[in-house]
Structure 1
Amino acid sequence: MPRKNHLIVDSGCTQDNERWSLSACGLNEESEVAWDGTHQREFVSCKRCLAKMAKPRPAPEPFHKERPILFNGAMVRAILSGQKTVTRRPIKGNQIPTYIKSDSPEHQWMAVVQDHPRWGFGAFGATEEECAAELAMYGGCPYGRQGDRLYVRETFNRTNPGGAEGVYYYRADGEFPKSIGGGKFTDTESWKPSIHMPRAASRILLEITDVRVERLQDISRSDIRAEGLQCPPELASDDVSPNYRDWYPAAWKELWNSTGGDWDANPWVWVVEFKRVTP
Structure 2
Amino acid sequence: MLRGELFSTDMVRAYLEGRKLHTARPIKTQPPEDLQYPYGFITGSTDHREAGKFCWTHEEICDGRTHTVMPKHHPGDFMYCRETWAVSDVYGEGGAFGFDCSYKGGGIVRPCITRDFKRYCEWGKFFDRDGWIPSIHMPREAARLFFRISRVEAMRLDDVTEEFAREDGFTPHDGNSALVWFHVFWQATYGDAQWMWVYWTDPVTKEEALTNAQ
The alignment's TM-score, normalised by the length of structure 2, stands at: 0.66
What secondary structure does 2:152 align onto? strand
State the AA in 2 paired with 1:255: F
Matched, 1:81 2:14: no
Residues 53-112 of structure 1 show CA distances to partners (whole Å, capped at 9, x for unaligned) of: xxxxxxxxxxxx11111101110000011101111111113xx22368xxxxx9x999xx
2:180 aligned with 1:256, yes or no? no
- Tell me how far apart the structure 2 counterparts of residues 135 and 67 of structure 1 sit (CA, whole Å): 22
Larger Rg: 1
Change over 3 Å in CA distance of 1:174–1:80 after alignment to 2: closer
Structure 1: segments with no counterpart, 5+ residues: 1-64, 101-105, 176-185, 236-242
Q: Which amino acid aligns with 1:169?
A: S
- Map 1:122-137; keep pairs closer than 5 Å: 123=55, 125-127=57-59, 135=68
Query: Residues 190 and 147 of structure 1: is their aligned pair in 2 closer, same or farther, counting only changes over 3 Å?
Result: same
Does structure 1 residue 276 correspond to structure 2 residue 206?
A: no
Change (3 A) 1:199 1:229: same
Query: Does the CA contact (< 8 Å) of 1:217 and 1:266 recur in 2?
Result: no
- The answer as to 2:33 corresponding to 1:92 is no
Per-residue deviation at 1:269?
Answer: 0.7
- The 1:127/1:82 distance shift into structure 2, 3 A limit, reads same
1:191 & 1:276 partners in 2: Cα distance?
25
2:113 matched residue in structure 1 = none
Cα distance change, pair 128–87 in 1 and its aligned pair in 2 (3 A):
farther
Q: Distance in 2 between matches of 1:135 and 1:274?
A: 24
CA distance in 2, matches of 1:135, 1:269: 13
Pair 1:141-2:77 in alignment: no
TM-score relative to the length of structure 1 = 0.52
1:167 CA displacement: 0.8
Correspondence for 1:216: 157
RMSD: 3.8
**Paired residues of 2:154 and 2:197 also in contact (CA < 8 A):** yes
Residue 152 of structure 1: aligned partner: 81
Residue 127 to residue 83, structure 1, CA distance change in 2 (3 Å):
same
Residue correspondences, number = 172
The 3-state SS of whatever aligns with 2:177 is helix
Q: Secondary structure at the match of 1:172?
A: coil
> Following superposition, which runs of at least 4 residues in structure 1 exceed 2 angstroms of deviation?
118-131, 133-136, 186-190
Give 1:135 shift. Answer: 4.7
Give the aligned partner of residue 72 of structure 1.
8
> Which structure has greater strand proportion?
2
Deviation (angstroms), 1:231: 2.4
Q: Tell me the secondary structure at the aligned position of residue 105 of structure 2.
A: helix
Q: Which residue of 1 aligns with 2:101?
A: 168
Q: Which has the higher contact order (CA 8 A, sep 6+)?
A: 2
User: Given that residues 73 and 172 in structure 1 are in contact (C-alpha distance below 8 angstroms), is that contact kept between their aligned partners in structure 2?
Assistant: yes
Whole-Å Cα distance in 2 between the matches of residues 278 and 87 of structure 1? 18
In structure 2, stretches of 5+ residues that fail to align are 92-97, 109-126, 207-214
Identity among equivalent pairs (%): 29
Answer whether contact 2:6 2:82 (CA < 8 A) is retained.
yes
TM superposition shift of 1:124: 5.2
Contact 2:15 2:169 in 1 (8 A): yes
